[in-house]
């Protein structure tokens, strides 16, 4: 049995522990198994590259951040475009066969799962494992990498808060999450943010300023605001994503955070700063929760391969490790429900989402 593993899309903590768990399960339970790593995600498969992953290669991976396989973003929309030598999809299928793979594990986010579904539809035996700090993969309660990112963002928030409080500032902290606001919501609540702005709840400038005014009027000396990369003004919300991106790029910005900080600063007269956490959120060693989750997901996914259950992705549903059919989840996202319990809980303790004056 020859098994391939690739990691695709943006990296996050937990990729290596999943590789380790898959490898350990296979080496412990399958005779004559051959495990290969495919470098740089689908790009490596398109080029037809692979290298052996031995038991020794798996040592020390549990706590190691990043991915030993290296990763790269390979846009889904380019997969079926005709290029020299055929489409990227056809090259991947040809290389899958050429390598003699019996199964391919794809560790990645929503885009990776879409391409995995494509491969599966063309007859490759594919099993996905849901990775993303955004936690926006449909059909699973949690993705690996998310909890570590929440820890990292929360700690960064804690550190920024002490300096913000000391200087009596208003601070906007930009958190990753273009489409979904899970990371901003969870870390914002965990860090005690006063306001959380996420893509799912478009905010109103007046509401944001009024909330800060009210805090100042109440004698509060500082305000912490968690802003998701994809947070949008209510006036922008009607625009298509491309139109919004175009309008922002005309101003030399890709997110709203800096502009919002300026507006709040001018409105309140209080010193206002913003901080973009950036790649801090992806790097580093996985937290204990993610180490456990990665081991569970990796081991379970490997078991699915041994059982011959392909065209699926591992998932967590109601504290159980299970699987979803790729066809049922590919191309779908899981968003924060603006009327859901988590938002209600946050509102209940006075956290503003910038949508109500």
Partner 1 sequence: MKYSVIDVSSSSVSMIVAERGGEVLFKERASLSLVHYLEGEKLSLSGMEKLAVLLEHMKTVAMAEGAERCYVISTAALRHVRNSKEIASFIKKRTGLSVNYIDEPTEAYCDYLANRGYAALDRAVLVDLGGKSIEICDLSKTEKGEMFGFEFGLIDLTHKFVSNIYPSREEGKAMRKFLNKKLDAANVPCEGAFATAVLVGATANAIYDIYADFAKVSGAEQKVMEYARFKKLAKRLLEGADRSRLILKNAPEKVYVLGAALTALKAVFKRFAVENIIVSDHGVKEGYLCLVREGKEKGRYTLLTSANAEDAASAVTVAVDAALPVPAPAPKKRGRPKKVQPQQEGAPAEEKAPKKRREVKTQTQRGDHE
The residues that are catalytic are: 134
**Cβ atoms of 334 and 177 closer than 8 Å:** no
Q: Applying CB under 8 A, which of residues 5, 24, 312, 314 lies at the interface with partner 1?
A: 312
Of 164, 162, 161, 186, the residue nearest 175 (C-alpha): 186
Nearest to 274 by CA among 290, 257, 289, 291: 257
Per CB under 8 A, contacts with partner 1 among 106-165 are: 114, 117-118, 121-123
Residue of 48, 57, 90, 258 that binds partner 1 (CB under 8 A): 90
Decide if residue 325 touches partner 1 (CB under 8 A).
yes
User: Please, what is the minimum distance in Å from the beta carbon of residue 45 to partner 1?
Assistant: 16
166 forms part of the interface with partner 1 (CB under 8 A): no
- Which DSSP string do the residues of 126-138 spell out, in sequence order? EEEEEB-TT--BT
Residue 303 engages partner 1 in binding (rule: CB under 8 A): no
Give the x/- contact pattern for partner 1 in 15-54, rule: CB under 8 A.
Answer: ----------------------------------------
Phi, psi (rounded to 5 degrees) for 72: -155, 150
- Residues written for the chain: 357
Region binding partner 1 by CB under 8 A among candidate stretches 25-33, 153-161, 252-260, 324-332: 324-332
Identify whether the C-beta of residue 28 lies closer than 8 Å to the C-beta of residue 126: no
45 or 153: whose CB is closer to partner 1? 45
- Give me the torsion for CA of 103, 106, 110, 111, rounded to 10°: -90
Q: Please list the residues that pair with 121 across neighbouring strands.
A: none
Q: Can you read off the two tokens belonging to residue 268?
A: 């309140």
Structure tokens at 124: 């490759």
Does 328 engage in binding with partner 1 (CB under 8 A)? yes
**What residue ranges bind partner 1 (CB under 8 A)?**
79-80, 82, 86-87, 89-90, 114, 117-118, 121-123, 309, 311-312, 317, 322-323, 325-328, 330-331, 339
């Amino acid at each position: 049995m020859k098994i391939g593993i690739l990691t695709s899309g943006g990296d996050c903590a937990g990729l290596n522990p999943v590789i380790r768990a898959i490898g350990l399960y296979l080496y412990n339970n399958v005779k004559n198994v051959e495990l290969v790593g495919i470098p740089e995600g689908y790009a490596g498969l398109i080029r037809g590259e692979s290298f052996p992953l031995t038991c020794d290669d798996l040592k020390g991976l549990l706590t190691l951040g990043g991915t030993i396989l290296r990763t790269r973003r390979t846009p889904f929309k380019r997969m079926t475009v005709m290029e020299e030598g055929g489409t990227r999809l056809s090259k991947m299928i040809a290389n899958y066969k050429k390598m003699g793979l019996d199964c391919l594990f794809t560790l990645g986010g929503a885009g990776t799962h879409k391409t995995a579904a494509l491969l599966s539809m063309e007859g490759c035996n594919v099993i996905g494992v849901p990775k993303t700090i955004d936690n926006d993969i449909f059909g699973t309660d949690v993705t690996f990498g998310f909890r570590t990112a929440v820890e990292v963002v929360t700690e960064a928030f804690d550190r920024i808060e002490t300096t913000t409080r000391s200087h009596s500032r208003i601070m906007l902290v930009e958190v990753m999450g273009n489409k979904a606001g899970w990371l901003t919501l969870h870390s914002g609540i965990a860090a005690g943010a006063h306001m959380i702005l996420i893509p799912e709840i478009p905010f109103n400038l007046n509401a944001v300023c009024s909330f800060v005014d009210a805090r100042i009027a109440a004698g509060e000396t500082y305000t912490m605001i968690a802003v998701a990369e994809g947070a949008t003004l209510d006036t922008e919300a009607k625009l298509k994503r491309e139109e919004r991106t175009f309008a922002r790029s005309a101003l030399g910005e890709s997110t709203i955070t800096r502009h919002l900080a300026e507006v709040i600063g001018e409105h309140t007269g209080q010193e206002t700063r913003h901080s973009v956490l950036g790649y801090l959120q992806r790097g580093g060693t996985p937290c204990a929760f993610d180490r456990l989750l990665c081991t569970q997901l990796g081991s379970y996914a490997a078991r699915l391969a041994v059982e011959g259950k392909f065209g699926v992705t591992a998932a967590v549903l109601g504290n159980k490790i299970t699987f979803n059919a790729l066809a049922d989840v590919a191309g779908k996202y899981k968003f924060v429900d603006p009327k859901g319990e988590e938002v209600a809980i946050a509102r209940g303790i006075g956290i503003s989402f910038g949508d109500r004056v």
